Amino acid sequence: MEPQGKKKNVSSSSLIKSKVQSATIYLDTPSPLTTASGGEQPEFTVTLRCRVNRYTKGGPKLRRELAYRGGGAEASFVAGVGAGDVPRDEDGVRAMMRSLLRAIWPLRQLGLTDDEWEAILPEDVVPKVAAMARGGGAAVVKLEVDRHVRYSAPRVLLTVCREAAAPPAEEEGGGCSICYEPLREKKAATAAGGGAAVELPGCAHAFHGRCIRKWFSKKPTCPLCRGEVTKHLDPVLRMHLAVVF
């Protein structure tokens, strides 16, 4: 039987709050290289290394679920100074550095938006690398990139629950299996304490909203049948909650 009542329609973007921060932790631009013997042009080389962290808070504790320092967190650009692909100005350097950032595997695991990709390049890097590009040299740039994700796991899980229909008069004795109080409460009590009953997806077991919210802060299951509520979430929300539970 289909659960009665209304299901909440809430977008993922309103439930999941995230931001990305980056900082330059090392930047070395040695003097331009002289022309090599044999008439070879000096090289313009940039090596970009990143330390990548992902922090998630879906409950009372902040968790660092990703701390990446190893292989795959480096990308390089090499070209002769006279080559056409060497950036000629700061805009060209930005484009080149952002291309290197997108080549770094752990950064691609953060699920960055286009705007966030644009924002993670610290501006202090650009003029120094641009000056070096004009004469050749080998720059080493190290960045720290932190991704912070914050959400309420109970609130996310409640989005797939439905408001329970009022039981018939002859069934008013039905109670919440968490607090054992009647599911059908007076309007005043409901407004004050958030006691309106909700039905879980799949099993349709009903509980007070305030009770199941507390339960969801610890477990993403039905208190009665242990059915997984997370499987009814969209893939993006399910991925985020997998970190907490």
Structure tokens at 217: 């802060």
Residue pLDDT, tens place only, 201-211: 999 999 999 99
Whether residue 24 contacts residue 125, with contact meaning beta carbons closer than 8 Å, is answered with yes
Distance CA(136)–CA(41), nearest Å, equals 9
Closest CA to 96 of 86, 107, 105, 109: 86
Q: Which of 125-134, 177-186, 193-202, 219-228 has maximum average pLDDT?
A: 219-228
Whether residue 16 contacts residue 111, with contact meaning beta carbons closer than 8 Å, is answered with no
Distance CA(43)–CA(30), nearest Å, equals 12
Whether residue 143 contacts residue 49, with contact meaning beta carbons closer than 8 Å, is answered with yes
Mean pLDDT of 132-154: 88
The per-residue b/e assignment along 91-109, b for 16 or more CB within 10 angstroms, e otherwise, is: ebbbebbeebbeebebbee
Using the predicted structure, report yes or no on whether residue 35 has a pLDDT greater than 80.
Answer: no
Q: What pLDDT is stored for residue 79 in this prediction?
A: 79
Distance CA(28)–CA(125), nearest Å, equals 10
Distance CA(206)–CA(177), nearest Å, equals 8
Domain boundaries, the chain: 17-150, 152-244
Mean pLDDT score of the chain: 82
Q: What pLDDT is stored for residue 224 in this prediction?
A: 95
Question: Is the pTM for the entire model greater than 0.85?
Answer: no
Closest CA to 206 of 169, 242, 172, 156: 172
Mean pLDDT of 213-233: 95
Q: What pLDDT is stored for residue 83 in this prediction?
A: 60
Q: What pLDDT is stored for residue 3 in this prediction?
A: 41
Whether residue 200 contacts residue 217, with contact meaning beta carbons closer than 8 Å, is answered with no
Structure tokens at 239: 């991925």
Select from 3.40.30.10, 3.10.180.10, 3.30.40.10, 3.40.50.970 the CATH code of 152-244.
Answer: 3.30.40.10
* Long-range contacts of the stretch 58-62 (C-beta < 8 A, 24+): 58/149, 58/150, 58/151, 58/152, 58/153, 58/156, 58/240, 58/241, 58/243, 58/244, 59/153, 59/217, 59/244, 60/217
